[in-house]
Amino acid sequence: MNIRQSVGATRYLGERTPRKENARLLTGRGQFVDDVRVAGALHIAFARSQVARGRIVSIDTSAALDLPGVQAVYTQADFADVPVHFLNYFFTPILAPVTLLADGRVACVGEAVAMVIAESRAIAEDGAALVEIVIEEETPLVTLADAKRGPPVHPGFDDNIAAEMGDEDSILALKDMLKGAAHVVSQRIAHQRIAQSPMENRACLAIPDGAGEMTIHLGCQSPHLAARVLAMSLGMEPAQLRVIAKDVGGGFGLKNIPWREEIATVVAARKFGRPLKWIEDRFEALTASSHAREQDITLTAGFDAEGHLLGAYAEYDSNNGAWPMGEDANIAVHMFMWPAYKLKAYGFVTRGWYTNTMGLGGYRGPWAMESLIREVLLEKAAKQIGIDVIEIRRRNLVTAADQPFTSTLGITVDDITTDACLEKLVAHLDLPKFRKEQAEARKQGRYLGIGFAAYIEPTGSAGSMQPMTGETAQVRIEPTGKVVATLSTHSQGHGTATTMAQVIADRLGVKYEDVAIYEGDSALGAFSPGAGGSRQAVIAGGACWTAAENLADKVRTVAAHVSNASVEAVSIVDGMVHIDGAPEMSRSLREIAEIAYGEPHRLPPGMASGLESQFRYQPPPMTMTSAAHACVVEVNPDTGFVKILRWCSAEDCGTVINPGIVEGQIAGGLAQAIGQVLLEDMPYDAKGNPLAATFKDYLMPAISDVPDFEYLHANTPSQTTGGMRGVGEGGAIVGPPTLVNAIADALAPFGTLGETITLPLTPTRVLGVIEGRDLGGHGETAAAVVEEAPAPVAAAPVAAARIDGSYAMTMKTPMGDQAMTGHFRTDGSALSGELESPEGSQGFTGSVEGNRLKFDLKVEKPMKITLKYDLVVEGDSISGKVKMGMFGSSKISGTRV
């Protein structure tokens, strides 16, 4: 890293600089979607299904249309002429037959069936209540266990498997391997369903500007990404759509991509020809916005006698609901479970399942289950093996000496500091003193516990997935000498205008107050996915860093030229341009800017006028953040209430731009973690009704639930420009195991938390552990039963099968369906051909046995891997699977073309 620093300059990097966003947000002058007023705007409300599964017999809109003030009522039939290609976050098609409004069938409670357009939101809601929907009810599938044995949620599908990866063979191999292990420890966690619950619900105001043009004010996490997804979904040119999101009241993954209601608002505005506004209410947000997290995992790990990890295997299921924002088997859980630990072998099967519940969407740290299950299992194992909970981690964590280290799933880490973070934490806490207090307290019938967790957070991903790109910074010094930057960052609370201005002010040598940031508009700047994947400080920070330094170079060159000085003698300090040894020649940045813009003949020959700089930063593919956390709790044995007494975070997020903002990100994630472990739950009843319809049922953490957090920052610069590491999701990832472990430690005198830990750990469930029996109670959902998955496609030997030809095929991958065309030629038992995909065409040779084709392909992206295809041709159909090394198998299906 090349840091050029002028002596005496005001430093902004690392400072608790107050946020630029606050001026408007603290005074009621923010601009959230519902704050935008447009002449002639009408309001949308949706009539939603109150039935979880069934066929729509009739929709009677006449009473709604008769209501004064109602302008239109649309059903899916009205949108039948509008092709909408629903895409997931990775721009690949949604596999479920999702439509804007329910199309002939409903698959979950809350699914929008009709759209009412009216003069006010109140009248629109009245109208929605008057839409009469008759549905022939069918028995819904609600739980994972239901999904595994019930008829397909989506008619015509083979089963309810929405996505799957991994392979039973890998689990069998690990079971064999661990047979002789000194210790084998298992843990199952049934994770409840979460409602993301940003304080501002989803919102969309679509304004048709003219022929085929549209301005859309949208609650989103990136106007650029939203515009791109909308354009692709609707077959429009990106330039026809302008998405503006000045202020957004929290996103947390829910607002990753525009979904059914937002797209329906855009389509309806085009159709109706008036500005239309949809503002989701809290009832809709809780019951009909995409949910998150409902999942079930069983992890088993084997250890040698000293507690060294030998191998592990996991079975994972995710309840995708009916209409996920992308079918998901959550492969990231498995990819990120072990890179920080010296694990030698890992096997898994991972599946996503359709059910008749609201679809699954994103939520802070979507793969967080990896840390939860691993860290809870490790502390359980330590107690079983008889070693300290810190010691078991010391024996297994990847240290500096072990790096670069590549996990069994191919993730290489070369600069993680998890072990150092843990040691920093241990040094900060007086553990022996705590153990003494704990023993004393127990004598008095008070139950204290301490829990730890260590993890890595993959951040700043760029270059291996379509939407995850680099970032462009456009920075200019105006003729006034003030600095303006146009960025594609987006804040739903992240404070990117603050951190980016700090980077620019620091690297350029100007005052923070003199830097203005423009963001939140797809018409400004270049493509970026904005917030998502803990990436903005890492990537946009790097872009601002270089753009500002390049601009400083231009200023110095101009100043040197007009002063007859050498460039090396010029420095920029707090907006003043100085020449070493000639204080009388100091000029303000404004004077230099006036020359650069107004007197270009005074510039060095050939130099472009103005003072502008643009830089697009492409960081390394991934940047790892490391951390270890500890918390202390007291559990009341009479009430089952958990009180958090202390929480300490030791995190290494590299260069800290603004500790106030970094700590805010950690704290926000930790509060959400506390909610997940103790409070929040979106249960469904057996008929598929969501049971938490208000914030009196869905318990959000309040100030009284969250302790003071203590932060120990380590600062190992990353390999990115500026050295930043992401920190957006970590609290939500490391928080849950830290707290669960503390509760387990407090309750140790009563035994373990059980073979299955069901979240949230409500007072009732905690009392269940204390009393050693199931007390049932709030939020008890049907436990998922792990059953054998349907057998993989078997090849039936058929003589003289007609194989030669071309097939349009689809492969299910963790990032959605991948389309390809296969060309096959047979010659006896020899096979040759090509596979064509958007990435290009690749030839292969292989073998034929009856109607079964086998061939291998070597690919380089996203990592070096050999794909082993095993396909069967039956008539004009082709199906089978591809084995992707340690990632297990993916299904392939297709037809002859």
Partner 1 sequence: MSETISRATVAMTVNGRRHSAEADARTGLGEFLREALGYTGTHLACEHGVCGACTVMVDGVAMRSCLMLAVQADGCEVTTIEGLAAPDGTLHPVQQALHEQFGLQCGFCTPGVAITLAAVTRDNPAATVEDMEKAMSGHICRCTGYQGIRRAIRQLAGEVPGPHGGEHA
Site for partner 1 in 718-747 (CB under 8 A): 731
What residues form DSSP beta bridges with 136?
55
User: Which among 348-356, 441-449, 518-526, 663-671 is the span making contact with partner 1, rule CB under 8 A?
Assistant: 663-671
Residues 6+ apart with CB under 8 A from 459: 533, 534, 535, 538, 622, 623, 624, 625, 725, 726, 727, 728, 729
Strands 161-166 and 276-279: unpaired
**703 part of the interface to partner 1, by CB under 8 A:** yes
**Read out DSSP for 384-419?**
HHTS-HHHHHHTTB--GGG-SEE-TTS-EESS--HH
The string of DSSP codes covering 77-132 is GGGTTS----B-TTS-B-SS---SS--SEE-STT-EEEEEEESSHHHHHHHHHH-E
Least distance (Å) from partner 1 to the CB of residue 527?
A: 24
CB closer to partner 1 out of 157 and 283: 283
Considering only 8, 28, 40, 583, the residue that binds partner 1 (CB under 8 A) is 28
Q: Which pair of tokens denotes residue 874?
A: 């039956």
The residue range among 14-22, 238-246, 583-591, 774-782 that interacts with partner 1, by the rule CB under 8 A, is 14-22
| CB closer to partner 1, 666 vs 682 | 666
- Residue 714 in the binding site for partner 1 (CB under 8 A): yes
Identity of the residue, 135 or 667, whose beta carbon is nearer to partner 1 in the bound complex: 667
Binding part of the chain for partner 1, among 192-200, 291-299, 507-515, 589-597 by CB under 8 A, reads 192-200
Site for partner 1 in 262-321 (CB under 8 A): 281-282
Q: Residues 673, 674, 677, CA angle at the centre, nearest 5°?
A: 85
* Listed ranges 16-24, 131-139, 148-156, 550-558: which one lies at the site for partner 1 (CB under 8 A): 16-24
Q: Which is nearer to partner 1, 312 or 661 (CB)?
A: 661
Q: Residues 610, 660, 754, 850: which binds partner 1 (CB under 8 A)?
A: 660
Tell the smallest beta-carbon distance from residue 307 to partner 1 (Å).
28
N- to C-terminal Cα distance for the chain?
54
Could you say which residues in the range 485-504 bind partner 1, by CB under 8 A? 491-495
Binding piece for partner 1, criterion CB under 8 A, among 233-241, 669-677, 821-829, 879-887: 669-677
How do strand 576-579 and strand 816-827 relate by DSSP bridges? Answer: unpaired
Q: What minimum distance in Å lies between the beta carbon of 699 and partner 1?
A: 10
Site for partner 1, residues 38 to 67, rule: CB under 8 A: 67
Choose between 612 and 710: whose C-beta lies nearer to partner 1.
710
Site for partner 1 in 207-246 (CB under 8 A): none
- In DSSP terms, 191 is beta-bridged to 295
Stretch that binds partner 1, among 173-181, 191-199, 435-443, 805-813 (CB under 8 A): 191-199
- Phi/psi of residue 382, nearest 5 degrees: -55, -45
CB-based contacts of 771: which residues, under 8 Å, 6+ apart?
none
* 226 CB-side CA count, 13 A: 38
Q: Which of 702, 785, 796, 830 binds partner 1 (CB under 8 A)?
A: 702
Among 198, 253, 352, 736, binds partner 1 (CB under 8 A): 198
User: How would you list the strands of the sheet with 132-137, edge to edge?
Assistant: 105-106, 54-60, 132-137
Q: What is d(CA 313, CA 348) in angstroms, rounded to the nearest whole number?
A: 5
Angstrom distance (rounded) from CA 61 to CA 378: 58
CA–CA dist 556, 334 (Å, integer): 50
Residue 133's SS3 state is strand
- The minimum distance between CB 422 and partner 1, in angstroms, equals 14
Peptide bond preceding 155 in cis form (omega within 30 of 0): no
* CA neighbor of 116 nearest in space, from 104, 101, 103, 106: 101
Query: Which lies closer to partner 1 via its Cβ, residue 247 or residue 262?
Result: 247
Determine if 663 is a binding residue for partner 1 (CB under 8 A): yes
Q: By CB under 8 A, which span of 315-323, 482-490, 703-711, 823-831 interacts with partner 1?
A: 703-711
Closest to partner 1 by CB, 427 or 897: 427
Out of 1, 3, 26, 608, point to the residue binding partner 1 (CB under 8 A).
26
Which CB sits closer to partner 1, 12 or 824?
Answer: 12
- Is 641 a residue that touches partner 1 (CB under 8 A)? no
Give the residues across from 334 on adjacent strands.
Answer: none
409 or 421: whose CB is closer to partner 1?
421
What are the residues facing 846 on neighbouring strands? 831, 855
124 vs 809, which CB is nearer to partner 1?
124
Separation CA 731–CA 91 (nearest Å) = 28
Q: Which of 236, 426, 712, 808 binds partner 1 (CB under 8 A)?
A: 712
Contact region with partner 1 (CB under 8 A), list: 117-125, 384-392, 397-405, 749-757: 117-125
Minimum distance of partner 1 from residue 199's CB (angstroms)? 4
Beta partners for residue 646, in sequence order: 632
Binding mask 374-413 for partner 1 (x = CB under 8 A): ----------------------------------------
Closer to partner 1 at the Cβ: 354 or 709?
709
CA distance 487 to 536: 11
Span of 393-401, 479-487, 659-667, 793-801 interacting with partner 1 by CB under 8 A: 659-667
| Residue 43 C-beta: closest distance to partner 1, Å | 10
In whole angstroms, the minimum distance from the beta carbon of 197 to partner 1 comes to 6
755 makes contact with partner 1 (CB under 8 A): no
Residue 853 near residue 846, CB atoms below 8 Å: yes
- Nearest by Cα to 290 from 266, 265, 326: 326
Given a contact cutoff of 8 angstroms between Cβ atoms, the answer to whether 350 and 330 are in contact is: yes
Whole-number Å distance between alpha carbons of 851 and 272 = 54
Distance CA 430, CA 410 (A): 37
* Closer Cβ to partner 1, 677 or 795, answer by number: 677
Query: Residue 222 carries which side chain, given as an amino acid letter?
Result: S
Q: Which one of the spans 477-485, 578-586, 618-626, 656-664 is the region binding partner 1 (CB under 8 A)?
A: 656-664
In whole angstroms, how close is the CB of 700 to partner 1 at the nearest point? 5
Q: Which of 78, 111, 247, 549 binds partner 1 (CB under 8 A)?
A: 247
Nearer to partner 1, 33 or 189 (CB): 33
CA 31 to each of CA 218, 219, 520: distance values in angstroms, whole numbers, following the listed order: 11, 11, 11
Cβ of residue 705: shortest distance to partner 1, in angstroms?
A: 9
Among 47, 107, 123, 784, binds partner 1 (CB under 8 A): 123
**How many angstroms separate the CA atoms of 537 and 499, rounded?**
7
3-state secondary structure of 550: helix
Nearer to partner 1, 495 or 779 (CB): 495
The residue within the footprint of partner 1, chosen from 348, 709, 855, 887 (CB under 8 A), is 709
Closest to partner 1 by CB, 375 or 652: 652
- Please report, for the chain, how many H helices and E strands are present, in that order: 19, 37
- Quote the least distance from Cβ 776 to partner 1, whole Å: 26
Q: Binding mask 799-838 vs partner 1 (x if CB under 8 A, - otherwise)?
A: ----------------------------------------
Q: How many residues bind partner 1 (CB under 8 A)?
A: 74
Helix (H) or strand (E) holding 658, with range, is none
